[in-house]
Amino acid sequence: MSVFVRRRECGRMTMLRPALEAALLVMSVMLVSGVPWRDAGACPFCFGSLQLSLREQIDASEATVIIRWKSGEPGNLKREIPASTTFTVLEILRGDPTLGRTIRIDRYQEGQAGDVFLMSGFRQDGAFQWDRSVPLSELGRVYLRGLPDSDSTPTERVRYALMFLESPDDTVATDAFSVLGTARYEDIAVLKDEFPRDKLRKWIRSGERLKGQLGVYGMLLGLCGDDGDRALLEKLILDVRGPDDYRLGIDGVMGGYLLVSGEEGLKVLDRQFLANASASQSDVHAVLGALRFMGQYADERISRRRLSQSLRQTLGTSRMPDIQIADLARWEDWTVTHELLDWYADPVRGTRHIKPAIVRFMIVASQADRNGLSEEDRASVEAAAAFVETLKQEQPAIYQQAARALVPSNS
């Protein structure tokens, strides 16, 4: 199967809600273990876009070529005629320059004389095994010729990709979005003054056709936007269509909204979703995702203490409190320590599902630096330390299992 992906597949999330919740639970273990959210460093809202970029694919292949369709035979089983396609090599982007002027593959690639394709391959048993060829327009060829080289910085690659977002060429548009998806947030944010703001507004307004892109464009607009963009993002966020409506990408829109609106915008999200018992679980999870984004990447815009205040609103009602417990530990919010200790002792609250997260929280709290803590926080940390010491003595296996999951945090 080809590594080149069509845009209509980009960002597609066909998982059902239980699968989404399972993924979030896995994320919660990473969070409470000290692993930064989306630890790979990739764009935080680029779900479904993490395939390799064209530059990465070219660099990873042994050969990548631009070819023109010459002839093809669909094959006929009854007549024992094998399928085949022959191409003329136009450009060798990577690989041995002596590959030859033609390439013949043992399968049929539909096409007409003159059609241009992109194809990559690897040598196996002395011969090249070629991936499925991908149609390439003239715009695609222009895009490939201008790709930053292998030694370019991530920021240079993002700068180039920004010019081709939502390109009419599917291959180009997919790749431009993939570059953002594999870039670190810091490498994207540094270019905020170069973002195509007017285009971002247009794409977001016509968001019905957007899939995974919506969250990314919302984040980008939040980085470079003004009060008018704040109103646009808020309108989109508050356009709730029903309790069962899952809005793919709305977490990124919320993240962008918080970037441009700060604490005033957080009050809106608190009121409309976190303090609203009728809000859908998917919207609540989207808000929590936006809070995590702000806590990791933009805590200078909204402090983690203020983010924790919002996070605690859902602790008692969440279907997955593991995630909130993890974030509170990472953000060193010890105000919930005694509440969580009560949960651990409660057979209803302290389920097998919740107890590991509570134990990890207590281990992290017990190791907190007591210098500079308020009297209340110091008492909480000491209570956590006492719990951990007792657990070591009475249930060492539970302690060791939780401790093994903890790794140093880079956030």
Please indicate, yes or no, whether residues 127 and 71 belong to a single structural domain of this protein: yes
pLDDT recorded at residue 124: 84
- Asked if pLDDT for residue 264 goes beyond 70, the answer is yes
* Between residues 93 and 410, the one the model is more confident about: 93
Please indicate, yes or no, whether residues 28 and 90 belong to a single structural domain of this protein: no
pLDDT recorded at residue 28: 39
Residue 88, domain member (yes or no): yes
pLDDT recorded at residue 211: 60
Distance CA 364, CA 126 (A): 55
Instruction: Supply the range of the domain harboring residue 270.
Output: 9-41+212-320
pLDDT recorded at residue 13: 31
Residue 154, domain member (yes or no): no
- Return the number of other C-beta atoms located less than 10 Å from residue 254's C-beta: 33
pLDDT recorded at residue 210: 63
**Least confident window among 103-107, 305-309, 313-317, 395-399:** 313-317
**Least confident window among 98-107, 272-281, 283-292, 370-379:** 98-107
Residue 53, domain member (yes or no): no
pLDDT recorded at residue 75: 79
pLDDT recorded at residue 393: 94
pLDDT recorded at residue 1: 33
Record the tokens describing residue 155, joined without a space: 């920021």
Average pLDDT in the 391-397 region? 94
pLDDT recorded at residue 82: 87
Q: Among the three residues 252, 287, 320, which one is the final residue of a domain in this structure?
A: 320
- Asked if pLDDT for residue 284 goes beyond 50, the answer is yes
Please indicate, yes or no, whether residues 343 and 286 belong to a single structural domain of this protein: no
pLDDT recorded at residue 245: 75
Under DSSP, the state recorded for 189 is: H
Residue 91, domain member (yes or no): yes
Summarised one tens digit per residue, pLDDT across range 16-35 is 333 334 334 334 333 333 33
Please indicate, yes or no, whether residues 218 and 316 belong to a single structural domain of this protein: yes
- Asked if pLDDT for residue 41 goes beyond 70, the answer is no
- Asked if pLDDT for residue 170 goes beyond 50, the answer is yes
Residue 89, domain member (yes or no): yes
**Least confident window among 113-117, 212-216, 286-290, 350-354:** 350-354
Please indicate, yes or no, whether residues 366 and 407 belong to a single structural domain of this protein: yes
Please indicate, yes or no, whether residues 221 and 280 belong to a single structural domain of this protein: yes
Query: Quick one: what percent of the chain has pLDDT higher than 70?
Result: 85
Residue 203, domain member (yes or no): no
pLDDT recorded at residue 40: 45
> Is residue 209 very low, low, confident or very high in pLDDT (cuts 50, 70, 90)?
low
> Is residue 207 very low, low, confident or very high in pLDDT (cuts 50, 70, 90)?
low
Residue 179, domain member (yes or no): no
Residue with tokens 């990559």: 120
Distance CA 12, CA 315 (A): 30
Residues paired with residue 91 on neighbouring β-strands, in sequence order: 66
Residue with tokens 């040598």: 123
pLDDT recorded at residue 222: 97
pLDDT recorded at residue 242: 75
- Asked if pLDDT for residue 301 goes beyond 90, the answer is yes
Question: Among residues 166, 156, 158, 192, which one has the least CA distance to residue 301?
Answer: 192
Number of domains in the chain: 3
Q: Among the three residues 137, 158, 187, which one is the final residue of a domain in this structure?
A: 137
Average pLDDT in the 30-56 region? 57
Q: What is the pTM of this model?
A: 0.80
Q: Among the three residues 137, 157, 176, which one is the final residue of a domain in this structure?
A: 137
- Return the number of other C-beta atoms located less than 10 Å from residue 80's C-beta: 7
CB 13 within 8 A of CB 23: no
pLDDT recorded at residue 297: 93
> Is residue 407 very low, low, confident or very high in pLDDT (cuts 50, 70, 90)?
low
- Asked if pLDDT for residue 361 goes beyond 70, the answer is yes
Summarised one tens digit per residue, pLDDT across range 100-142 is 789 998 888 888 899 999 999 988 887 788 888 889 999 999 9
Residues 6+ apart with CB under 8 A from 78: none
Distance CA 358, CA 126 (A): 56
Please indicate, yes or no, whether residues 220 and 257 belong to a single structural domain of this protein: yes
Please indicate, yes or no, whether residues 230 and 315 belong to a single structural domain of this protein: yes
Distance CA 289, CA 286 (A): 5
Please indicate, yes or no, whether residues 227 and 253 belong to a single structural domain of this protein: yes
Residue 163, domain member (yes or no): no
Under DSSP, the state recorded for 334 is: G
Question: Among residues 36, 37, 39, 43, which one has the least CA distance to residue 185?
Answer: 43
pLDDT recorded at residue 230: 97
- Asked if pLDDT for residue 391 goes beyond 70, the answer is yes
Record the tokens describing residue 94, joined without a space: 């990577």
Please indicate, yes or no, whether residues 341 and 294 belong to a single structural domain of this protein: no
**Least confident window among 102-111, 143-152, 297-306:** 102-111
Please indicate, yes or no, whether residues 406 and 339 belong to a single structural domain of this protein: yes
Please indicate, yes or no, whether residues 71 and 122 belong to a single structural domain of this protein: yes
- Return the number of other C-beta atoms located less than 10 Å from residue 369's C-beta: 8
- Asked if pLDDT for residue 350 goes beyond 80, the answer is no
Residues paired with residue 84 on neighbouring β-strands, in sequence order: 73
Question: Among residues 205, 213, 204, which one has the least CA distance to residue 10?
Answer: 213
Distance CA 355, CA 267 (A): 31
pLDDT recorded at residue 321: 86
* Cα torsion 262, 254, 331, 272: sign: positive
Label residues 4-19 b or e (16+ Cβ within 10 Å = b): bbebeebbeeeeeeee
